[in-house]
């Protein structure tokens, strides 16, 4: 009797220890993230002693090493937004439609083959995609469209679309596949065609998951560095056409950070760009979270 209660206590203790262990691990990763964000702000804020926040965000000229320097990142912000929007225009239809096909149209066998292949796209290192864009796509674009340079907004967006399609497709497919079977069966039983079922029942039922997928895909495109550094061209001006070279925020940070003197104005300014970028991607993630919670479909009841 006493022995068994002792082992019971042992088991409880062990449970406690394991719980604390996991709590510790979770805490460590959260703390690390928090410290990174803190570091970002500590290193970025000092630039605002030199320039005001509005001059920094809406300034048109980025000449950080001139004397006197100009720290205006408006062209960089516009460039980031532009590549994200254009790449989404490519990746959202492709990603979502591929997901629909995989979940609804494809046979189980095709699906089994197709999905891992799409996900493999995500495994391609971004530097490889960047190199592909720079060496192969850029000269072809320039030749076919007869434009001054193939390193431009469009090329970068195309490469970024490659990178966000796996995210969008894979997550959307999970959402569509997760729609309860009885919804589909009921719709078909009422005489709706397969297409009517997809467009009026399955899509509305999985829209929150699809939105989450899309926003996460966009957030990936916005934060991506190597591709935009290699293929976006890097001109710090506000683009007037789809084929103008641009310099998104991550490209500027990556290109200049290595040689910016430690804790100089330039260094602080680069961290301040990182803060802005962080706020953008944070906003994307918060929105994605909102979508997945607020519009979540629970069973068939809420449709």
Q: Which of 195, 259, 298, 302 binds other proteins (CB under 8 A)?
A: 259
Residue 58 makes contact with other proteins by CB under 8 A: no
Measured at the alpha carbon of residue 279, what is the angle toward residues 273 and 280, in degrees to the nearest 5?
Answer: 90
> What does the alpha-carbon distance between residue 239 and residue 235 come to, in Å, rounded to a whole number?
9
Contact (Cβ atoms closer than 8 angstroms) between residue 40 and residue 278: yes
Residues binding other proteins: what is the number (CB under 8 A)? 37
Residue 277 neighbours by CB under 8 Å, 6+ apart: 80, 222, 223, 249, 250, 253
- Member of 125, 261, 299, 302 binding other proteins (CB under 8 A): 261
CB of 133 to other proteins, least distance (A): 11
In the list 207, 254, 275, 300, the residue contacting other proteins (rule: CB under 8 A) is: 254
Q: According to the binding rule CB under 8 A, does residue 111 interact with other proteins?
A: no
Query: Is the Cβ of residue 95 or residue 248 nearer to other proteins in the bound state?
Result: 248
Q: Which of 46, 94, 142, 174 binds other proteins (CB under 8 A)?
A: 142
- Position 128 contacts other proteins (CB under 8 A): no
Q: Is residue 132 part of the contact set for other proteins (CB under 8 A)?
A: no
- 37, 47, 95, 302 from 102: Cα distances, Å: 38, 49, 11, 25
**Region near other proteins per CB under 8 A, out of 5-13, 157-165, 199-207, 234-242:** 234-242
The burial of 131, by beta-carbon neighbours within 10 Å (0-12 exposed, 13-18 middle, 19 or more buried), is given as middle
Contact with other proteins (CB under 8 A): which of 45, 124, 135, 283? 135
Instruction: Give the count of beta carbons closer than 10 Å to the beta carbon of residue 197.
Output: 19
Distance CA 32, CA 64 (A): 30
Residues in contact with other proteins by the rule CB under 8 A: 61-67, 75, 134-135, 138-139, 142, 148-151, 229-230, 233-237, 245, 247, 251, 254-256, 258-262, 264, 266
């Amino acid at each position: 009797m006493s022995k068994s209660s002792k082992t019971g206590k042992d088991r409880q203790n062990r449970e406690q220890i394991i719980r604390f262990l996991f709590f510790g691990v979770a805490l460590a990763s959260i703390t690390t993230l928090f410290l990174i964000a803190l570091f970002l702000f500590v290193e970025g804020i000092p630039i605002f002693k030199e320039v005001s926040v509005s001059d920094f965000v809406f300034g048109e000229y980025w000449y950080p090493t001139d004397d006197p320097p100009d720290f205006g990142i408006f062209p960089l912000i516009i460039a980031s937004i532009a590549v994200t929007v254009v790449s989404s225009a490519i990746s959202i239809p492709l990603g979502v439609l591929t997901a629909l096909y995989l979940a609804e149209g494809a046979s189980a066998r095709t699906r089994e083959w197709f999905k891992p292949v799409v996900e493999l796209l995500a495994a391609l290192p971004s530097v490889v995609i960047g190199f592909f864009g720079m060496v192969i796509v850029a000269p072809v674009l320039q030749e076919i469209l007869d434009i001054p340079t193939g390193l431009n907004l469009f090329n970068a967006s195309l490469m970024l679309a490659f990178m966000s399609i796996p995210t969008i497709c894979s997550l959307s497919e999970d959402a569509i596949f997760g729609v309860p079977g009885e919804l589909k069966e009921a719709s078909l039983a009422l005489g709706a065609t397969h297409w009517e079922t997809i467009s009026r029942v399955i899509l509305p039922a999985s829209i929150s998951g699809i939105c989450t997928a899309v926003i996460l895909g966009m957030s990936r495109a916005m934060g991506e560095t190597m591709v935009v550094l290699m293929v976006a061209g890097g001109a710090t001006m506000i683009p007037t056409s789809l084929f103008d070279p641009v310099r998104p925020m991550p490209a500027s940070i990556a290109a200049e950070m290595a040689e910016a003197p430690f804790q100089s104005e330039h260094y602080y300014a680069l961290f301040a760009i990182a803060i802005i970028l962080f706020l953008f991607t944070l906003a994307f993630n918060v929105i994605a979270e909102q979508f997945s919670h607020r519009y979540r479909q629970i069973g068939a009841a809420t449709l």
